[in-house]
């Protein structure tokens, strides 16, 4: 089992560009969560998805951010028109029904 | 609202000493409390967890206790080693309208001095 796979590991974008972060959950896991971690800070919940459904997006900024988990393929976190304040580590986690989280290695986004 | 408080934010101990990290949570309905260890530049990794039907759980040098009445839970590390140095996060589950997610504390940086 390859675990939770995130790519890319590092992503550099200029202000105004789009960032796409991908997450493939562990085999057998049907729940995907995205968290953002700023330097020296904790993990902030962004969104919880199941296949083709957004279950809870209460932590997502109202503009520029979107997430999906299609029937086929990885979950995508999309950030449009990135700004410097979007620079952070973005972690994806997956879980089975009623189970604990397994985190991916994260994508470190730097906006220049 | 959903909130998990963690303290202290930093702790420095000598190798062989014990370390204790304390967390409180706001939602009395929370029923799952995991602890994660994150080394610099790496992913958070689950080290131990406890569910609300249990008051204490131990795994070698690590133990977790839960007081549901007071909404407190704690991580205890005994006989600390330099490789225990990392940031430790507590978390509590929150169920909102059928959506169960983990809310994390801000983390505690543990330094174990040889």
Q: To the nearest whole angstrom, how far is the Cα of B41 from the nearest Cα of chain A? A: 9
Can you name the residues that pair with B19 across neighbouring β-strands?
A: B77
Residues A11 and A105: beta-carbon distance below 8 Å = no
* Listed residue (B88, B94, B91) closest to B104, CA to CA: B91
Partner residue opposite A48 with nearest CB, options B46, B99, B107: B99
**CA terminus-to-terminus distance, chain A:** 36
> At residue A7, what are phi and psi to the nearest 5 degrees?
-150, 150
* First-residue to last-residue Cα distance in chain B: 41
Give the number of other CB atoms < 10 A from CB of residue A14: 8
- pLDDT one-digit tens code per residue, A13-52: 999 999 999 999 998 888 999 999 988 788 999 999 998 9
Query: What's the rounded Cα separation, in Å, for the pair B78 and A2?
Result: 32
Q: What is the pLDDT of residue A1?
A: 61
Give the pLDDT confidence of B30-81 residue by residue, as tens digits: 989 999 999 998 999 999 999 888 889 999 999 999 999 999 999 999 999 9
C-alpha distance from residue B10 to each of B6, B108, B113 (Å)? 10, 5, 13
Q: Please give the mean pLDDT across all residues of chain A.
A: 93
Residue B89 is nearest to which of A42, A45, A56, comparing CB atoms? A42
Give the pLDDT of residue B53.
Answer: 83
Which chain A residues contact residue B105 at CB under 8 A?
Answer: 42
Q: Check residue A25 and give its pLDDT.
A: 95
From CA B12, how far away is CA A76, in angstroms rounded?
Answer: 39
Comparing alpha-carbon positions, the chain B residue that sits nearest to A90 is B43
Of B45, B97, B107, the CB nearest to A42: B107
Helix (H, G, I), strand (E, B) or coil at B82: helix
CA distance B16 to chain A (A): 26
DSSP state for residue B4 in the 8-state scheme: E
Chain B residue numbers with beta carbons less than 8 Å from the beta carbon of A35 are 104
């Amino acid at each position: 089992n390859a675990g939770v796979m995130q790519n890319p590991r590092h992503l550099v974008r200029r202000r105004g560009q789009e960032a796409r972060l991908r997450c493939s959950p562990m085999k057998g896991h049907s729940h995907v969560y995205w968290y953002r971690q700023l330097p020296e800070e904790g993990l902030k919940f962004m969104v919880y998805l199941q296949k083709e459904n957004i279950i809870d997006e209460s932590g997502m900024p109202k503009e520029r951010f979107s997430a999906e988990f299609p029937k086929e393929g990885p979950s995508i976190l999309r950030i449009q028109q990135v700004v410097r304040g979007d620079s952070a580590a973005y972690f994806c986690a997956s879980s089975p029904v009623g189970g604990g989280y397994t985190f991916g290695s994260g994508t470190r986004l730097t906006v220049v | 609202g959903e909130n998990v408080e963690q303290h202290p934010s930093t702790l420095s101990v000598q190798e062989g000493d014990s370390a204790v990290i304390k967390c409180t949570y706001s939602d009395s309905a929370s029923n799952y409390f995991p602890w994660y260890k994150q080394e610099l530049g790496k992913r958070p990794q689950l080290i131990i967890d406890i569910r609300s039907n249990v008051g204490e759980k131990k795994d070698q040098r690590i133990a977790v206790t839960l007081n549901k009445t007071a909404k407190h839970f704690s991580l205890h590390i005994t006989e600390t080693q330099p490789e225990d140095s990392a940031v430790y996060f507590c978390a509590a589950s929150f169920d909102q309208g059928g959506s169960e997610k983990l809310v994390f504390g801000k983390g505690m940086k543990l330094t174990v001095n040889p």
